[in-house]
Amino acid sequence: MRKYLAAAFFAAIPFGFFLANGLPEASAREGGFLGNLFSKRKAKECETPCVEPAKTTPVKTQEPKKETPKPEVKPEPKKETPKPEGKPEPKKETPKPEVKPEPKKETPKPEPKKETPKPEVKPEPKKEAPKTEVKKETPKSEPKKEVAKADPKKETPKDEPKKTASASSSTPPAGFVNLFNGKDFSNWWGFGTSDPRKFKALPPAEQAKIKEANMKDILAHWKVEGNEIVNDGKGLYLTTEKEFADYELHLEYKMLPKGDSGIYLKYTPQVQIWDYTDKDKFKIGADKGSGGLWNNSAGAPGKDPLVLADKPFGEWNKFRIIQVGARTTVYLNDKLVVDNAILENYFDRKMPLLQKGAIQLQTHGSEIRWKNIFIKELSPEEANKHLASKANSGFESIFDGKTLKGWTGSVDNYEVVDDSIQCKKGKGGVLYTDKKYSDFVVRLEFMVPPGGNNGLAIRYPGGNKDAAYIGMTELQVLDSEDARYAKLDPRQYHGSSYGMAPAHRGYLRAPNTWNYQEVTVKGSTIKVELNGNIILDTDLSKITEYMAKSPHPGKDLKEGHFGFAGHSDPVRFRNLQIKPIAAK
């Protein structure tokens, strides 16, 4: 009996040893009873902290700024694998803190391109996602809006309010591009409320230095969470590197109470965003809602939104903004809030906006989130069509597109070419309407060849003399940027009242491209709007100095014909419409 007890005693020693020290690590991984027991226990302990914290930000649990309850919360969402050391399996759970190297632990779909393991979401060198935000949207941050209309392909540059992109889609509509790459702030920089002309006047080296310093401010206050850009309510404004002329912009935002933000267009404030329930700001218009061009002059068109269109806090709002020149149309949540108003130049109201400029996401006051920032640059044809579609009632056509019926004067020196009136090469003279007009608005498109020269005869008395002098004025039509015109008097460039009042330069399109122009004549005043930019707004009765001291005896005429003053170049005109303005 003693012999059997001794045998049992010695057999139990190794078992006790393993109980005290555990199985070797390799054996535990292999599976055995004890290995499984410890494996399951470890996996269970890892399960809770790794679950996504109840935060409204999208899936990126590895974001350092997110509120993860334990330091090791970074590892992976949804770890349910029984193995304690998941290194061998890229998608499986590893309970070890060094699990960080796993590049693919992002939601059920392994999307390595979206992973940003670095604290500063910005410069991830390893991120190779050419696609900006491919299917990165998850129900975490926007529970209500997640799967609305999957296919917004029917977007057009026209103003139908219902054609905005789907609120949940991270894929741009056809013809649009995404301004945010879904991972960092490449192609963005930091800029505040500053006159862009002054910045552009700085030497390139100084500009680069300012950009580098400003980027540090951006990284301190802006971050990326999933497919969203988040700002803490402070710092400079996120600014596109690229500049845009005529475009349609879509974006979505979500703001907290008391927030105050906006969208700068061509560096200029702003399409307003604010808390429409903040009673402290009712006196400055907050109760009217977001979307207005708030920095326009008091009473100016567009300053206040046409309707209150904001959604309740916690919901995403979506903008659709169309800007051609300074002409700005805004839809908020598919409601028209600004209709083709001029966005004034905040830095110098006598000047038009820059012809091209950056888009800035402005913020101050509280956290704001942005997503789905899509843009489509409009072709000259699309831009012209948009401008012609606005405020077009009361106009009558003065050209049938086929003949010169209704026109008189130098008829033999003009011809109809491709639905347009063209001055014959080497010919000239004034072609003018049979009718006379007093106050009127005329709209037209024109195309100049390289170096081309012509003019619009305003209140022309008839005959065959120079429209610039015997008529009220000739508004110059000229390829101003051609080298041969480098030394002209400022009163001779395109849009100027010839010899009397200079127009702003830089808004004419390239030669052989159709431009859109609108001229308003009221009393002694003339306003010229080129491609959506007001380039001349003058009162000829106040002009006392003339180019070459040559008087303009016709400038005080109260009535006359409208026409074209040819100067040997094949300049073309089409889509001619005029609207008489009734005297009050």
Would you list the DSSP string of 401-435? SS--TTEEESGGGEEEETTEEEEPTT-EEEEEEEE
Please determine, looking at this structure, whether the domain spanning 391-580 carries the CATH number 3.40.640.10: no
Dist CA 45 CA 47 (whole Å): 6
Q: What percent of the chain has pLDDT over 90?
A: 68
Buried-exposed string 485-495: b where 16+ CB fall within 10 A, e elsewhere: eeeeeebbbbb
Among the ranges given (365-369, 438-442, 529-533), the one the predictor scored with the smallest mean pLDDT:
365-369
Q: What number is the average pLDDT over the span 288-292?
A: 98
Position 169 confidence tier, pLDDT thresholds 50, 70, 90? low
- Which residue has better confidence, 114 or 381? 381
Q: What percent of the chain has pLDDT over 70?
A: 71
Q: Return left, alpha or beta for 264; rule: phi > 0 is left, psi -120 to 50 is alpha, else beta.
A: beta
Dist CA 168 CA 148 (whole Å): 6
Is the pLDDT assigned to residue 145 strictly greater than 70? Answer: no
Cβ atoms of residues 526 and 426 within 8 Å: no
Position 583 confidence tier, pLDDT thresholds 50, 70, 90? confident
Q: In this predicted model, what pLDDT tens digit does every residue of 455-464 receive, in sequence order?
A: 999 999 999 8
Could you tell me which residues come within 8 angstroms of residue 115 by beta carbon, excluding any fewer than 6 positions away?
62, 103, 104, 105, 106, 124, 127
What is the SS3 assignment for 277? coil
Q: 155 vs 173, 324, 344, CA distance in Å? A: 6, 17, 28
Q: In this predicted model, what pLDDT tens digit does every residue of 239-281 receive, in sequence order?
A: 999 999 999 999 999 999 998 999 999 999 999 999 999 999 9
Dist CA 323 CA 248 (whole Å): 6
pTM for the full predicted model? 0.72
- The confidence score (pLDDT) of residue 519 equals 98
Facing residues of 473 across strands? 458
Position 495 confidence tier, pLDDT thresholds 50, 70, 90? very high
Pairing between strand 572-580 and 396-397? antiparallel
Alpha helices in 299-374 (DSSP H): none
CA angle 229, 187, 340 (to 5 degrees): 75
Dist CA 391 CA 125 (whole Å): 50
- The confidence score (pLDDT) of residue 364 equals 85
Position 170 confidence tier, pLDDT thresholds 50, 70, 90? confident
Cis omega (within 30 of 0) for bond into 270: yes
Q: Which helix (H) or strand (E) holds 299?
A: none
Architecture of the domain made up of 177-378:
Sandwich (2.60)
Residue boundaries of the structural domains of the chain: 11-114, 177-378, 391-580
Q: In this predicted model, what pLDDT tens digit does every residue of 411-439 receive, in sequence order?
A: 999 999 999 999 999 999 999 999 999 99
Could you tell me which residues come within 8 angstroms of residue 481 by beta carbon, excluding any fewer than 6 positions away?
508
Q: What number is the average pLDDT over the span 537-566?
A: 96
Q: Which helix (H) or strand (E) holds 468?
A: helix 467-470
